[in-house]
Amino acid sequence: MALLHLDSSAHRAAESTSRQLTAEFARRWLARHRGAGYRYRDLAAEPVAPIGAAYCALGRRVEQHGMAPAEGLIETAAERREWALTRELVDELLASDVLLIGAPMYNYSAPAALKAWIDRVSFPGVLELADLRVVVVTACGGAYETSERDFLTPYLRAYFGKQGVVNLEIVTADRTLAWLVPGREPDRPAAAESLAAARARLIHLADTV
């Protein structure tokens, strides 16, 4: 068994709800799976390079050749560099049984740091994720139960669904700004409830996933 743990909050751990919750999940899951593989990436502190022209040129060639392996289609040094960056992340993902992602909501959607990782690992023809179990922890300053502005969870569901993932859990802690922003004090009981529910759900998932 192997766990790949990604965080993408730009906040430090002490100020980040998603970082604290993913860390709790990882600790508990690893205690249950002694000897399991564990890889950690802090996508905010060590960003994955955004894809460039060489990545796209190689990807187009792979598609043009009916998803032939990229290695045999590389034409330039820039493509070789892009492929090396991509391959490392893809291999790390394919070697994992469980993918844990901390994904704060930034401007109604995913942080650019996480999106850069997603764009890179989604190279044409390389992902086969049907057996991957995915746990995503989202944190947002507001609440979106009755709002149509949540583009984060629908996006992640659509993305992992398209990749063949059937075992996807998204756990959300909302109203996190109730603890910080003046005037939002009335939201604190609901924020505390949301955090407690997220924590309980993650404990359950760490014991079962």
Ligand X SMILES: Cc1cc2nc3c(=O)[nH]c(=O)nc-3n(C[C@H](O)[C@H](O)[C@H](O)COP(=O)(O)O)c2cc1C
Q: Which is nearer to ligand X, 86 or 176 (CB)?
A: 176
Is 9 a residue that touches ligand X (CB under 6 A)? yes
Dist. CA 108–CA 130, nearest whole Å: 28
* Least CB distance to ligand X at residue 12 (A): 9
* Least CB distance to ligand X at residue 130 (A): 29
Is 6 a residue that touches ligand X (CB under 6 A)? no
Dist. CA 157–CA 63, nearest whole Å: 24
Which contacts of 16-21 are long-range, i.e. CB under 8 A and separated by 24 or more positions? Answer: 16/102, 16/104, 16/139, 17/104, 17/139, 17/173, 17/176, 17/195, 18/102, 18/103, 18/104, 18/137, 18/138, 18/139, 18/173, 19/102, 21/102, 21/137, 21/139, 21/171, 21/173, 21/198, 21/199, 21/202
Q: Coil, strand, or helix at residue 103?
A: strand
Region 141-180 residues binding ligand X, contact defined as CB under 6 A: 141-142, 176-177
* Least CB distance to ligand X at residue 137 (A): 8
Select from 5, 6, 18, 160 the one that contacts ligand X (CB under 6 A): 18
Give the binding range for ligand X (CB under 6 A) out of 36-44, 58-66, 86-94, 134-142.
134-142
Dist. CA 136–CA 23, nearest whole Å: 12
Select from 5, 6, 19, 206 the one that contacts ligand X (CB under 6 A): 19
Q: Of 141, 86, 64, which Cα lies nearest the Cα of 108?
A: 141
The site for ligand X, by CB under 6 A, has a size of 17
Select from 1, 11, 85, 125 the one that contacts ligand X (CB under 6 A): 11
Give the binding range for ligand X (CB under 6 A) out of 11-19, 78-86, 88-96, 128-136.
11-19
Dist. CA 31–CA 64, nearest whole Å: 46
* Least CB distance to ligand X at residue 120 (A): 21
**Contact string 85-124 vs ligand X (x = CB under 6 A):** -------------------xxxxx----------------
Is 47 a residue that touches ligand X (CB under 6 A)? no
Site of interaction with ligand X (CB under 6 A) = 9, 11, 16-19, 104-108, 139-142, 176-177
